[in-house]
Chains A and B, each alone.
Chain A
């Protein structure tokens, strides 16, 4: 079964850091495009970052320079390192596989990041 399971969310102060993990099963992370999408409380979906199978990475302007997407091939796991966190980064963060014509499937269950003092 193709599945994604996120972890690493929690409460962090503004300016702090957090690393999210996304463990994949049923497929190989390094052979796929993988992405992070977030959803602020009561708001819509916002794309955050993508890593291509070749290793190229791209970010939304709102997180560029602060977030870093990466993967660990032998652990079949995707990561999102989040630095200089802001209150507006508070959201549920989902990881998702990006399919060849740019749709997201499957999605993980999400992990909540709360940035507050």
Chain B
């Protein structure tokens, strides 16, 4: 089961800013392990979006940004576009459970 909690869904109009939270515990995010984010478009494999809490791989637009504080992390999408409609997952390492993923958030562009 997922040990990182995300909201099931968020939505916004084109051009707006949305944020997705990822809440963990003292054995994962709170223990200092990095948080990473993935985007999964319908019918495709997950794609790395943010690594090491706030770093973007080459090719990822700077509309996507990540942050981490305490036992939580957040992904922000500014200037929301239709192509951003997808599922988003956070991921970290857990000292008891090895690799852990968030519950996933569906982003809908209104």
Contacts and interface: CB of A to CB of B under 8 A. Distances in A.
B69 interface: no
B101 A103 contact: no
A109 to B, nearest CB: 6
Contact of B93 (A102, A105, A107, A110): A102
Interface residues of A, number: 22
21 contacts: A44-B104, A45-B89, A45-B101, A46-B2, A47-B99, A50-B98, A50-B99, A99-B51, A101-B51, A101-B52, A102-B92, A103-B48, A103-B51, A104-B48, A105-B48, A105-B51, A105-B57, A106-B48, A108-B45, A109-B44, A109-B45
Interface of B: 2, 33-34, 36, 38, 44-48, 51-52, 57, 89, 91-93, 97-104
